């Protein structure tokens, strides 16, 4: 995008729906950071530690990018809740080992990819904020890689209990997005 003035895109007025989406992205990336911190606080497995450290760095980069688009006054007031829930979403499966961790990350990232894709499509359809759209696409691509990597570590499909946990994580993610968009 060398021909495009990035600063004008960042300064251009954003529709209310985009501010709400960016608020939910900010909340989600905050939660993701705390998922990996939760994992790292519990796990003793080197494979999981390396996975979590690598992905934590990526999520921190995503958060910094989202913060550049969203004024502090427009961020979710529930950030402490997103930190706590993120931590628990990482720490609880880490208590049960690598299968639980990788299944959880796969479920979370599957949700996040769909969430980002809907925003990207709307920005494309409305033909606005091309730089924000490109950053969201880059974040989405990273999340898809995280999902694929987590899935590759699973030797078999999750059992009933783990599948139920993953559905709970997905439902919780949907609820968190709805709340973050307005609070």
Look at the pTM and tell me if it is higher than 0.85: yes
Q: What is the pLDDT of residue 156?
A: 81
Q: What is the pLDDT of residue 118?
A: 96
pLDDT digits over 118-156, tens only?
999 999 999 999 999 999 999 999 999 999 999 999 878
Q: What is the pLDDT of residue 12?
A: 77
pLDDT digits over 48-74, tens only?
999 999 999 999 999 999 999 999 999
pLDDT digits over 86-114, tens only?
999 999 999 999 999 999 999 999 999 99
Q: What is the pLDDT of residue 155?
A: 78
Cα gap 103→174, rounded to integer Å: 17
- Give Cα separations from 47 to 51, 101, 102 (angstroms): 6, 11, 11
The token duo for 92 is: 């609880």
Predicted confidence (pLDDT) at residue 11 exceeds the cutoff of 60: yes
Predicted confidence (pLDDT) at residue 1 exceeds the cutoff of 60: no
Helix (H) or strand (E) holding 31: helix 16-42
Cα atoms found within 13 Å of the Cα of residue 131, Cβ hemisphere only: 17
Local confidence band at 81 (pLDDT 50, 70, 90 cut-offs): very high
Cα gap 124→103, rounded to integer Å: 32
Q: What is the pLDDT of residue 7?
A: 55
Question: What is the mean predicted confidence (pLDDT) over 80-84?
Answer: 96
- Asked whether the beta carbons of 23 and 78 are under 8 A apart, the reply is no
pLDDT digits over 15-55, tens only?
999 999 999 999 999 999 999 999 999 999 999 999 999 99
Comparison of pLDDT for 4 and 128, the residue scoring more: 128
């Amino acid at each position: 995008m060398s021909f495009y003035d990035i600063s004008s895109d960042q300064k251009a007025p954003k529709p209310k729906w985009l501010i709400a989406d960016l608020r939910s992205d900010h909340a989600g990336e905050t939660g993701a950071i705390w998922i990996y911190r939760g994992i790292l606080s519990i796990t003793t497995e080197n494979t999981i530690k390396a996975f979590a450290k690598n992905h934590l760095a990526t999520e921190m980069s995503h958060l910094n990018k989202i913060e550049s688009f969203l004024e502090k006054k427009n961020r979710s007031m529930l950030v402490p809740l997103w930190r706590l829930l993120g931590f628990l979403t990482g720490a609880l499966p880490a208590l049960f080992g690598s299968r639980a961790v990788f299944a959880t990350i796969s479920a979370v990232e599957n949700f996040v990819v769909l969430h980002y894709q809907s925003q990207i499509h709307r920005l494309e359809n409305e033909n606005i904020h091309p730089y924000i759209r490109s950053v969201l696409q880059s974040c989405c691509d990273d999340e898809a890689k995280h999902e694929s990597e987590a899935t590759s570590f699973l030797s078999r499909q999750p059992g009933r209990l783990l599948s139920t946990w993953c559905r709970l994580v997905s439902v919780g993610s949907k609820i968190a997005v709805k709340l973050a968009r307005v609070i």
